[in-house]
């Protein structure tokens, strides 16, 4: 008989279930299959009602995240051969409300992301400024934010973050990392606007520096380092604003 592997998937249908229920599937083991390939096999061949998200299959869109044996992972870049012959348990990303099966509601994250204006803000635009031209940037200026620009909004860091689990109002790792990304872009002039959000009660100071966000980040964005640097920048800004009498 061909090799097989067992996947236990947490199911939840809001129209029928009052709580999550595990369902196990034993499927053929293919050593070059990702977990997402296995889920696609189950959906195509075994149970078409299984709900989960995916799009790019190449660790770019950030939509296929779920808890794999208790750890937040991208399932398109996590392979069965890492676990075989042991069983794999799949649950929806922790710390988010579940919509159905492995699909979570990301509205809270999207709202927080928008609140820090993750785009380049030009404040002192002159009337005659040619906005069709490029804003030039040196390689070293780009290095200042490049690492954080790799974030794909997969929210694995939120599923790993104990502070977000305890305090859902916390802005959270990816949003602060992306704040850092734009604040440190030489073309941007929006740091003061974003400071009102990141330095507020539910901003950087809620982070207890556990570092699990950095551990699980599939793109090595190092959100924990970005948060700690943002704390330093916020404290320095506050100090100089007091010295200068600015609010």
Task: Give the one residue of 38, 42, 76, 221 binding ligand FES; rule: CB under 6 A.
Answer: 76
- For 142, the enclosing helix (H) or strand (E) is helix 139-143
64 touches ligand FES (CB under 6 A): yes
Residue 108, preceding bond cis, omega within 30 degrees? no
Nearer to ligand FES, 68 or 197 (CB): 68
145 touches ligand FES (CB under 6 A): no
200 touches ligand FES (CB under 6 A): no
Q: What does the CA dihedral 108, 109, 110, 112 come to, rounded to 10 degrees?
A: 90
Residue 92 gets which letter from DSSP?
Answer: P
Nearer to ligand FES, 56 or 120 (CB): 56
93 touches ligand FES (CB under 6 A): no
24 touches ligand FES (CB under 6 A): no
Task: Give the one residue of 6, 41, 43, 57 binding ligand FES; rule: CB under 6 A.
Answer: 57
CA–CA gap between residue 90 and residue 104 (Å, rounded)? 13
CA–CA gap between residue 191 and residue 116 (Å, rounded)? 10
Q: What is the size of the binding site for ligand FES (CB under 6 A)?
A: 12
CA–CA gap between residue 183 and residue 204 (Å, rounded)? 14
78 touches ligand FES (CB under 6 A): no
50 touches ligand FES (CB under 6 A): no
Nearer to ligand FES, 4 or 55 (CB): 55
- Whole-number minimum distance, CB 152 to ligand FES, in Å? 7
CA–CA gap between residue 200 and residue 198 (Å, rounded)? 6
13 touches ligand FES (CB under 6 A): no
- Whole-number minimum distance, CB 31 to ligand FES, in Å? 19
Closest CA to 79 of 29, 41, 151: 29
56 touches ligand FES (CB under 6 A): yes
Residue 181 CB partners (closer than 8 Å, separation 6+): 118, 145, 148, 149, 151, 226
Q: Which residues bind ligand FES (CB under 6 A)?
A: 54-57, 59-64, 74, 76
């Amino acid at each position: 008989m061909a090799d097989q592997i067992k996947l236990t998937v947490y199911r939840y249908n809001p129209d029928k279930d009052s709580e999550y229920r595990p369902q196990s599937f034993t499927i053929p083991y293919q050593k070059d299959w990702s977990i997402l390939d296995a889920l696609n096999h189950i959906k195509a061949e075994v149970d078409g009602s299984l709900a989960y998200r995916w799009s790019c299959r190449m660790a770019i869109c950030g939509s296929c995240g779920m808890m794999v044996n208790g750890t937040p992972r991208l399932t398109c870049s996590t392979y069965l051969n890492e676990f075989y012959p042991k069983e794999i348990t799949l649950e929806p990303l922790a710390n988010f409300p579940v919509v159905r099966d492995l699909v979570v509601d990301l509205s809270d994250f999207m709202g927080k992301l928008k609140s820090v204006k993750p785009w380049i803000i030009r404040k002192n635009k002159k009337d005659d400024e040619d906005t069709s031209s490029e804003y030039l940037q040196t390689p070293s200026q780009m290095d200042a934010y490049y690492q954080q620009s790799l974030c794909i909004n997969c929210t694995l860091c939120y599923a790993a973050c104990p502070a977000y689990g305890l305090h859902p109002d916390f802005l959270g790792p990816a949003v602060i990392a992306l704040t850092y990304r734009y604040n440190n872009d030489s073309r941007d002039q929006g740091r003061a606007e974003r400071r009102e959000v990141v330095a507020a009660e539910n901003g950087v100071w809620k982070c207890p520096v556990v570092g699990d966000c950095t551990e699980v980040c599939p793109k090595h964005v190092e959100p924990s380092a970005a948060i700690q640097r943002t704390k330093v920048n916020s404290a320095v800004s506050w100090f100089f604003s007091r010295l200068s009498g600015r609010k």
